[in-house]
A and B are shown apart, each in its own frame.
Chain A
Amino acid sequence: MADLLSFAVFFLTLVGIYAVLALALNVQWGLTGLFNIGIAGFFAIGAYSSAILTTPPSAAHLGGFDLPIALGLAAGMVLSGVIALGIGIVTLRLREDYLAIATIGIAEIIRLVLKNEEWLTNGVRGIAGIPRPFEHLVGRGQDVIYLLIVGMAVVVVYLAIERGRQSPWGRVLRAMREREVAVMAAGKDIVRFRLESFVLGAAFMGLAGGLYAHFFSFISPEAFDPMYATFLVWVMLIAGGSGNNRGAILGTLVIWTIWAGTEFLTNLWVPAEYMTRAGSIRVMLVGALLLVILLVRPQGLLPESQFVAATTSRRRRGDGGAAATEEGGPQEP
């Protein structure tokens, strides 16, 4: 019973961290249609910034500076946002593919730096001893408190994005996604709106990274493999329903259950020597799931509300779905 409880706390904490990532991606992709496949990079920036700032002084890596955890988390968000600003300025005025390629590039370079710059990050050996909040509380109590903190972060991020989505700002983002030319004609600076959305999403990804670092107390470049931090989040958002914040959270819960559940099953049944192969089957499963969702139910479990459709429905109904999607809408409602 106690085991089950601590497993549940562990499981839900990770779901919460991934939910922040999925919500962050929902700002960029779901609302704005910006294709970021360098999530792992921003996640890592948040984790490493917070780790370096909050650990006690160490000879193994830069710092640490022994600062409060809240400051570490904030710094991770700011740094992630600044990097996103740099990439955004260069690529957001171009076709969407360029942003996708640039985000891969920046994630790859961040990964190389983390792995090779030992003075900064201690290389592949990683950073240990990252403080957890309320460390004087021992045992399970501390885990529960951490879960509450992560839960609060999810709620705050959710409310912030939901508020933004319904505001005039969010309406511009979605209108831009549906029909860029019309928004330009209305006199909106589309590059600026895109930039704001991209930077905001990246900052939340940085926050998720910080939460991850303080949860495990240890980080190494391996944890920021593109598979875990990028593709899983994409599948989560698309499965849940891009554009819908509740969908993002539901998708995270469903996909993480499948991902962790299959790991549990392979640990139970698969002999140790076949473990890496069983791991590849799990990845294949996630990839296949993504394709099936795109082909069968591209709108996800909880489709985006019809708000946008109400403003553009005449066009959509008028000339059939195909023409509307050709304009670049990420999905068919």
Chain B
Amino acid sequence: MFQEFVQLVAYGIVLGSILSLGAIGLSLLFGILRFAHFAHGDVMTVGAYMALAFVAGLGLPLWAAFGLAIVGGAGLAIVIDQLVYRRLRRTAPVILLIASVGVALILRSLVQFIWGPDTQVFSQELEMPLRIAGIRLKPSQLNIVVGTIVLVVLLHLFLQRTRMGKAMRAMADNPDLARVVGIDTERVVVATWIIGAAFAVSAGIFLGVDTRLQPTMGWHVLLPIFAATILGGIGKPYGAIVGGMVVGIASELSTAAFPSVYKPAVAFALMVAMLIVRPTGLFGTPR
């Protein structure tokens, strides 16, 4: 019984790592651009498929494909921002939200057009699970958790130590004040897209490694990622990490009682509970 519990928590940490990476990007983008980016899941999907193209098409090792896919995903995000979102920035945020739904649709069907609707995998090889203190985990799952920790530490250093990171936090706090003190807000926006897309691509690749690739993979985790974002307080990147872990672990634990297809429902229930009790999230400042 206890053994099973610990095992599920371990799986939850793996899933939570993936959700956290998605939620961090969503939260940062919300903080800077003030809209819920509904294409975030599909950016994950595109990232995962780009990495697949480098692995399967060019025969590169996964870590190299990882780096290239991040560059590609960040480039794609900047292009979309310049083509679509930038022109709509002066309108109401909810118009940006609708536009992002259109972008999501285009990205998903683009993936389906290029790679087809069937599921694919990064590697056909069977992995032998490792046993650590009685917990079974595949080496790739361990890599996901370690990779996430590295990325989160890098994000922390970026936000706290660099000028751009400080500018970003300032702008999330108060955009008008940031502009007054001379922060180039358009540059901050571009930097936010780079980081948001890089984290989304990482989440997509990790999801692809942990399960399999499918054109709707990102769309289907969008709900748990939003739940994680809201749980942590929308606009708070550090809260997003905690939110991701809570949603991930709760979803995996729920499989002991409910069929595993209902994992998204658990995320949803957590989100609704949070909205009722404390809409600003665990780390949000109450208004």
Give the interface of A toward B (CB within 8 A). 33, 35, 37, 90-91, 94, 96-98, 100-102, 104-106, 108-109, 112, 115-116, 227, 231, 234, 238, 276-277, 279-281, 283-284, 286-288, 290-291, 294-295, 298, 322, 325-332
Contact A328:B92 (CB < 8 A) given known A94-B275, A105-B223, A287-B105: yes
Instruction: Name the distance in Å between B270's Cβ and chain A's nearest Cβ.
Output: 10
User: Do B98 and A234 touch across chains, with their CB atoms under 8 A apart?
Assistant: yes
Q: How far is the CA of A108 from the CA of B264 in the complex (A)?
A: 8
Q: How far is the CA of A106 from the CA of B271 in the complex (A)?
A: 11
Which residue of A has the minimal Cβ distance to B87? A295
Q: How far is the CA of A98 from the CA of B227 in the complex (A)?
A: 10
Neighbouring A residues of B268 by C-beta, 8 Å: 105-106, 108-109
Q: How far is the CA of A321 from the CA of B164 in the complex (A)?
A: 32
Kindly list the 9 A-B residue pairs having the minimum CB-CB distance in the complex, ordered from nearest. A287-B105, A290-B102, A280-B109, A287-B106, A283-B109, A280-B113, A105-B268, A97-B36, A280-B112
Neighbouring B residues of A98 by C-beta, 8 Å: 230, 275, 279
Contact A105:B95 (CB < 8 A) given known A291-B84, A295-B88: no
Neighbouring B residues of A37 by C-beta, 8 Å: 38, 101
Cross-chain contact of B271 among A96, A105, A286, A327 (Cβ < 8 A): A105
User: Do B113 and A90 touch across chains, with their CB atoms under 8 A apart?
Assistant: no
Contact A101:B230 (CB < 8 A) given known A283-B109, A287-B103, A298-B91: yes
Interface centre among A101, A112, A283, A290 (most CB of B within 10 A): A101
Cross-chain contact of A234 among B35, B101, B264 (Cβ < 8 A): B101
Q: How far is the CA of A286 from the CA of B103 in the complex (A)?
A: 10
Instruction: Name the distance in Å between B178's Cβ and chain A's nearest Cβ.
Output: 17
Q: How far is the CA of A227 from the CA of B104 in the complex (A)?
A: 11
Contact A100:B97 (CB < 8 A) given known A90-B272, A112-B265: yes
Neighbouring A residues of B106 by C-beta, 8 Å: 283-284, 287-288, 291
Which residue of A has the minimal Cβ distance to B215? A280
Q: How far is the CA of A109 from the CA of B258 in the complex (A)?
A: 14
User: Do A330 and B92 touch across chains, with their CB atoms under 8 A apart?
Assistant: yes
Neighbouring A residues of B103 by C-beta, 8 Å: 287, 291
Cross-chain contact of B117 among A109, A276, A330 (Cβ < 8 A): A276
User: Do B110 and A280 touch across chains, with their CB atoms under 8 A apart?
Assistant: yes
Neighbouring A residues of B279 by C-beta, 8 Å: 94, 98
Neighbouring A residues of B91 by C-beta, 8 Å: 298, 325, 332
User: Do A277 and B92 touch across chains, with their CB atoms under 8 A apart?
Assistant: no
User: Do A284 and B110 touch across chains, with their CB atoms under 8 A apart?
Assistant: yes
User: Do A277 and B99 touch across chains, with their CB atoms under 8 A apart?
Assistant: no
Judge whether B262 is part of the interface by a CB distance below 8 angstroms.
yes
Q: How far is the CA of A293 from the CA of B89 in the complex (A)?
A: 16
Q: How far is the CA of A284 from the CA of B215 in the complex (A)?
A: 14
Q: State which residues 230-287 of B face A: CB under 8 Å.
A: 230, 234, 259, 261-262, 264-265, 267-268, 271-272, 275-276, 279
Instruction: Name the distance in Å between B115's Cβ and chain A's nearest Cβ.
Output: 10
User: Do B113 and A35 touch across chains, with their CB atoms under 8 A apart?
Assistant: no
Instruction: Name the distance in Å between A29's Cβ and chain B's nearest Cβ.
Output: 9
Judge whether B74 is part of the interface by a CB distance below 8 angstroms.
no
Q: How far is the CA of A231 from the CA of B75 in the complex (A)?
A: 26
Judge whether B90 is part of the interface by a CB distance below 8 angstroms.
yes
User: Do B105 and A325 touch across chains, with their CB atoms under 8 A apart?
Assistant: no
